[in-house]
């Protein structure tokens, strides 16, 4: 197996960020979409929910194939459906069609999760944390930057233009990946059914994987509740639109930029300590959010803390699960990431409900409860982390 060159590593990092951005373009645009289709805030949140559910299902169905089928063959089919889904979203003339299109956008945007195990596979033990951190940096900057870009594009040109632009960008990226990404062949000879059944085997036998999955789900549930409802808070408390809401993603990029450093620390420091530090940051962020209903500075501080904490937790979780079962890294990543985004979908739903009934105080208390649950889970079961 070829060793991972820096040029390929950074290509995977950039590609992960550009593709995963498709999941989050809709969040700063929800208010505009609600106005377009004359629906309330709770109803329009189904656009974000369907995207996350689609992503979780894409992880479950597509990513295990990374242990069986060459990476380039997966990309060919996936990008075709992805581009068509983005165009369909841009052309939607009803909320239902947009929700369906959003589901397939999420489904096909699971592809970056092939790059993370690939980086781990092509790296030696000493450099695995660094490689995961670099790919995750790109992915996380894509998540955060997507909100900034879509907020600005939505404010200037309307929400449909964002989807058209994303379709063009994905076509260009597909061409580049076909030219530059190394082809990785697989030796797995079993059927797809057997491949999928093995997911349960790894989930059942790996306690560290189950714990990482639960930690990730709880942390991401809180973050999704925040980003789904932030646009509503900005409209109600500050009178700002999608452009300003999206720009808040810039303050979370610190956490993304720190991902490479965190990855390197994973190669040197006890992982339980990193996880505990991460969870404390997440709890502090929700305490700050609770008292920031009318404070932009408080929101900025909270965003910086929550993104830094989540990324440190996420990278450490993945480093733990990739250190075992090298023949099945795509499958263990599937289990972890499906749980992660099921948590995100739950957070979107609970966050929208909390906002509709209790406004920002309800959202903040929901996030705080999820974070405290995360701390309890880690303290009780931390011996199973490694």
CA dihedral 138, 368, 204, 75 (to 10 degrees): -20
pLDDT at 242 over 90: no
* Higher per-residue confidence, 71 vs 311: 311
pLDDT tens column, 97-111: 999 999 999 999 988
Q: Is 186 inside a domain boundary?
A: no
**pLDDT for position 383:** 63
- Per-residue pLDDT, averaged over 44-49, amounts to 85
pLDDT tens column, 6-18: 788 888 888 888 9
Q: Confidence band (pLDDT; 50, 70, 90) for 362?
A: very high
Q: Poorest-confidence range of 99-103, 147-151, 201-205?
A: 147-151
What's the total number of domains in the chain? 1
* Higher per-residue confidence, 189 vs 204: 204
Tell me the average pLDDT of the chain: 84
pLDDT at 386 over 80: no
Q: Is 352 inside a domain boundary?
A: yes
Q: Is 1 inside a domain boundary?
A: no
- Per-residue pLDDT, averaged over 294-321, amounts to 87
Q: Is 2 inside a domain boundary?
A: no
Q: Is 150 inside a domain boundary?
A: yes
- Per-residue pLDDT, averaged over 42-71, amounts to 85
Q: Confidence band (pLDDT; 50, 70, 90) for 290?
A: very high
What pTM does this model have? 0.75
Q: Is 49 inside a domain boundary?
A: yes
Q: Is 39 inside a domain boundary?
A: yes
* Higher per-residue confidence, 36 vs 286: 286
Q: What percent of the chain has pLDDT over 90?
A: 26
CATH number at residue 75: 1.20.1250.20
Q: Is 249 inside a domain boundary?
A: yes
Which residues span the domain enclosing 33?
8-180+195-384
pLDDT at 46 over 50: yes
**pLDDT for position 1:** 45
């Amino acid at each position: 197996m070829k060793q991972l060159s820096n040029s390929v590593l950074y290509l995977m990092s950039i590609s992960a960020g550009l593709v995963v951005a498709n999941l989050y373009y809709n969040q700063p645009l929800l208010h505009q979409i609600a106005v377009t289709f004359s629906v309330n805030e709770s109803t329009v949140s189904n656009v974000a929910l369907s995207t996350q559910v689609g992503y979780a299902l894409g992880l479950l169905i597509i990513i295990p194939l990374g242990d069986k089928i060459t990476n380039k063959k997966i990309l060919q089919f996936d990008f075709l459906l992805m581009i068509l889904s983005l165009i369909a979203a841009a052309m939607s003339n009803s909320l239902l069609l947009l929700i369906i299109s959003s589901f397939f956008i999420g489904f096909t945007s699971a592809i970056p999760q092939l790059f993370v195990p690939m980086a781990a596979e092509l790296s030696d033990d000493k450099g695995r944390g660094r490689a995961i951190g670099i790919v995750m940096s790109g992915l996380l900057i894509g998540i955060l930057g997507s909100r900034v870009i879509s907020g600005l594009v939505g404010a200037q040109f309307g929400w449909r233009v964002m989807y058209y632009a994303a379709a063009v960008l994905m076509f260009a990226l597909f061409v580049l990946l076909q030219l530059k990404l190394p082809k990785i062949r697989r030796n797995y000879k079993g059927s797809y059914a057997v491949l999928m059944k093995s997911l349960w085997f790894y989930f059942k036998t790996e306690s560290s994987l189950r714990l990482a999955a639960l930690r990730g789900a709880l942390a991401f549930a809180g973050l999704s509740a925040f980003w789904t409802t932030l646009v509503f808070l900005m409209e109600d408390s500050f009178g700002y639109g999608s452009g300003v809401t999206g720009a808040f993603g810039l303050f979370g990029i610190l956490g993304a930029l720190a991902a490479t450093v965190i990855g390197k620390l994973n190669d040197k420091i006890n992982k339980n300590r990193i996880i505990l530090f991460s969870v404390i940051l997440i709890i502090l962020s929700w305490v700050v959010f609770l008292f920031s209903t009318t404070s932009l500075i408080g929101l900025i501080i909270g965003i910086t803390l929550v993104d830094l904490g989540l990324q440190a937790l996420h990278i450490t979780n993945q480093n733990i699960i990739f250190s075992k079962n090298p023949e099945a890294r795509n499958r263990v990543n599937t289990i972890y990431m499906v749980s992660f985004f099921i948590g995100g979908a739950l957070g979107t739903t609970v966050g929208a409900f909390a906002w509709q009934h209790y406004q920002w105080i309800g959202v903040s208390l929901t996030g705080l409860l999820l974070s405290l649950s995360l701390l309890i889970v880690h303290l009780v079961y931390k011996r199973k982390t490694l």
